[in-house]
């Protein structure tokens, strides 16, 4: 079973617009991570937020975490065509070994 559920499944926007993706999970976590996957490629780590953090920024990325609602959001500001990819949230529980449980992902298309 998958821990994270992402919403929306697909998102289509114009360059310059902001893109927001949401992730919900079921059990308690140690941290939550967001990854990006370009078509036909492996996943690339974007950002990690710890369970005791509420917000984190990295360049044009902003991640929020609400542990009371078991949810997270990823905001990409001023999107570019190169941001077109699938985005996955993944949760790590306190069991250790950095094991991750992935959501099904959001497919983002940014049109020039």
For other proteins, the binding residues (CB under 8 A) are 1-2, 4, 30-31, 33, 35, 40-45, 48, 50, 88, 90, 92, 94, 96-105
Three-class SS state of 29: coil
Looking at beta carbons only, is 17 or 24 nearer to other proteins? 24
Looking at beta carbons only, is 17 or 102 nearer to other proteins? 102
Q: Minimum CB separation from other proteins for residue 68, in Å?
A: 21
Q: Minimum CB separation from other proteins for residue 52, in Å?
A: 11
Q: Minimum CB separation from other proteins for residue 43, in Å?
A: 4
Strand-pairing partners, residue 31, are 50, 92
Looking at beta carbons only, is 98 or 112 nearer to other proteins? 98
DSSP string, 50-109: ETT-SEEEETTEEEEEETTTTEEEEEE-S--GGG-EEEEEEEE-TTSTT--EE---EEEE
Q: Minimum CB separation from other proteins for residue 88, in Å?
A: 5
Q: Is residue 108 a contact partner of residue 6, using CB atoms and an 8 Å limit? A: no
């Amino acid at each position: 079973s998958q821990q994270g559920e992402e919403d929306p499944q697909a998102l289509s926007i114009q360059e310059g617009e902001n893109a927001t993706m949401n992730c919900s999970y079921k059990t308690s976590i140690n941290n939550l991570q967001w990854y990006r996957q370009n078509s036909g490629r492996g996943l690339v780590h974007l950002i990690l937020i710890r369970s005791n953090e509420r917000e984190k920024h990295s360049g044009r990325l902003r991640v929020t975490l609400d542990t009371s609602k078991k949810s997270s959001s990823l905001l990409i500001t001023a999107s570019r065509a190169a941001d077109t990819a699938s985005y996955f949230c993944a949760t790590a529980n306190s069991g250790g070994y950095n094991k991750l449980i992935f959501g099904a992902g959001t497919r983002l298309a940014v049109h020039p």
